[in-house]
Amino acid sequence: MIIMKRLRLGLAAAGLGLAALVACCAAKVPIEPAPAGGPERLVIDIRDPEVYAAGHAPGSLNIQLTWHQLKDRTPSYVPELTRPIALRASNLFDAQEAAAILQELGYSDVSLFEPEGADESDTLELMDAKELARVIATGTPPMIIDIREQSEFDNGVIDIAKLVDQDEGPLAVEGLDKSARYLIICEGGWRSSQLASWMKIQGFTDVVNVIDGMAGWRNL
């Protein structure tokens, strides 16, 4: 088992007090609080897109744990392996798994975000494919960014969408107007949430995640 250091659990999300946490998990992960006054950490929120959209820490990046998203997508968005990271998870077990994955990828400074008392007032606007179709029908839709991979593009795209490879999102939006409105779509709302959250970190002010993605679009 990979041993993680400097981990703190988001106690409110897990529903455990510190004493109970140490008692049930000390054999798995040594718990060390992040040093007071330490470096500012990038919060990586590993919860599902709908949960993230409803409320999260300002400036947090949504890269989901499951379907290998955290393992496969994190290097594109966080290339600096020494970047201090705090994980926002729904429960202890997800947090432990995520911390192990990040350590395996080479990230050297990982702790856990503690939601109790923290500001999680930021939200991300969601839109479904039906609403997207209505917006396109106006004739003057905002830019649509489709973040998937080539094999998916080959099976169908929205004609007016800007196609972006799933690993090129950060580079593909460089130079875009940060005050404009952007609708981000992928297959099912996960990779689009990653790019949308990253764009907000970079100062884009009006970003929307098409939550049911191209799967929803094809069902129209």
CA distance 94 to 65: 7
Question: Tell me: the pLDDT tens digits for 75-131?
Answer: 999 999 999 999 999 988 888 889 989 999 999 899 988 888 889 999 999 999 999
Residue 81 backbone class (left: φ over 0; alpha: ψ -120 to 50; beta: rest): alpha
Q: State the DSSP H helix or E strand holding residue 213, giving kind and residue range, or none if neither.
A: helix 213-218
Under DSSP, is residue 151 helix (H, G, I), strand (E, B) or coil? helix
How far apart CA 80 and CA 18 sit, in angstroms, is 31
Q: 């196609």: which residue's tokens? A: 163
In this predicted model, which residue has the larger pLDDT, 27 or 33? 33
Query: What tens digit of pLDDT does each residue of 139-160 get?
Result: 999 999 999 999 999 999 999 9
Mean pLDDT of 54-83: 97
What is the overall mean pLDDT for the chain?
86
Which residues, at least 6 apart from 19, have a Cβ–Cβ distance to it below 8 Å?
none
Arithmetic mean of pLDDT, 35-39: 69
pTM: 0.85
Q: Which structural domains are found in the chain, ordered by start?
A: 11-112 (3.40.250.10), 125-218 (3.40.250.10)
Predicted pLDDT at 38: 73
Identify whether the C-beta of residue 7 lies closer than 8 Å to the C-beta of residue 99.
yes
Most confident listed range (28-42, 45-59, 79-93): 45-59
Q: Who contacts 62 (Cβ-Cβ below 8 Å, separation ≥6)? A: 44, 45, 47, 49, 52, 56, 124, 193, 194, 196, 197
CA–CA distance, 174 with 6 (Å, rounded to integer)? 34
